Amino acid sequence: MSSYIQIGAGFVMFNPNAGNLATNPTPLRALTIQDAELDISGTIETLKGQYQFPDDAAVTDKKGTGKLTMGRKDLSMLNQIFFADVTAAGGTSVSPTEAHSVPASTPYTITVTPPGTGTFYADLGVYYQANNAKAFERLATGTPAAGQYTVAAGVYTFAAADTGLGILISYAYTQSTTGNIFQVNNQNIGYGPQVEIYLVDTYQPIPVSGVNIYSTTRVWAAKISKVTLGNKRSAYSMPQVDYEYFQAPSGRVLDLYSNV
């Protein structure tokens, strides 16, 4: 008999083990799991004659899919299990609403200073702090009038008419040493890692010689089919990973192990 009760999301581990692998392929555990699903579906083919119900029904094709929702944006894990692309130090970040005041004397300029080792990369707009956060208009060249500005290499120039007003500057900048960038490049069709997946039920393990034995589902071979990243106004970000599994070279698809 292998009937048991499970509550909670348990553990999910990914082990990249074939295909196009990231540099230093590394097994990783998903963190702050919200739900973990594994689906097994089959197509039913029916044989019908002159009667309403079929004379026979048979399972033909089977399909294995699953998905995982977690409370952590683990970019390293996504690169290991899905992108398998270039990783490098540094990257591009954004200063979304940097507060300044337009200086009282000519040339009415503000030079933004990105944090750390950052280097100014691109202007992303200027807004008034008051005035319902009205946006400024950027000029390519020339002398700005009220509500206008120009920018070059991180130096913003404003109009005398805006002297003393509070503004919010948004800009992108590059970091050379802080953080990591996980690139997503346009690879050839078929490119991507294969992973082995372990889904572990943790509610009622069986202790054996002082060590807990967990019921576990082993997915022998899978590929990630979809990654969903998104933010909500009043909720935590919950990245979702969808996958499809298939037979390993040995012909094995799943192992459903029970500790009872």
Across the range 207-234, mean pLDDT stands at 96
Six token digits for residue 246 = 């298939």
3-state secondary structure of 81: helix
Are 88 and 75 in contact by the 8 Å Cβ rule? The answer is no
- C-alpha span between 260 and 134 (Å, rounded): 65
- C-alpha span between 135 and 174 (Å, rounded): 24
Query: What pLDDT score was predicted for residue 151?
Result: 98
Which carries the bigger pLDDT value, residue 172 or residue 259? 172
| Structural domains of the chain, ranges and CATH numbers in brackets | 11-86+183-257 (2.30.110), 89-180 (no CATH)
pLDDT digits (tens, 9 = 90+) for 66-87: 999 999 999 999 999 999 999 9
Sequence letter at residue 210: G
Average per-residue pLDDT in the chain?
Answer: 96
Whether the per-residue pLDDT at 159 is higher than 70: the answer is yes
- C-alpha span between 216 and 218 (Å, rounded): 6
pLDDT digits (tens, 9 = 90+) for 36-63: 999 999 999 999 999 999 999 999 999 9
Q: pLDDT band at 110, cuts 50/70/90?
A: very high
Whether the per-residue pLDDT at 208 is higher than 80: the answer is yes
Q: pLDDT band at 116, cuts 50/70/90?
A: confident
Find all residues with CB under 8 Å of 222, minimum gap 6, and list them: 64, 66, 194, 195, 196, 197, 243, 244, 245, 246
Find all residues with CB under 8 Å of 121, minimum gap 6, and list them: 92, 171, 172, 173, 174
Across the range 154-162, mean pLDDT stands at 97
Across the range 218-238, mean pLDDT stands at 97
Query: What pLDDT score was predicted for residue 1?
Result: 66
Q: pLDDT band at 260, cuts 50/70/90?
A: confident
Partners of 257 in the beta sheet? Answer: 216
Residues in the chain: 260
Whether the per-residue pLDDT at 134 is higher than 90: the answer is yes
Compute the Cα dihedral for 157, 159, 163, 165 and give only its sign: negative
Compute the Cα dihedral for 208, 3, 198, 232 and give only its sign: negative
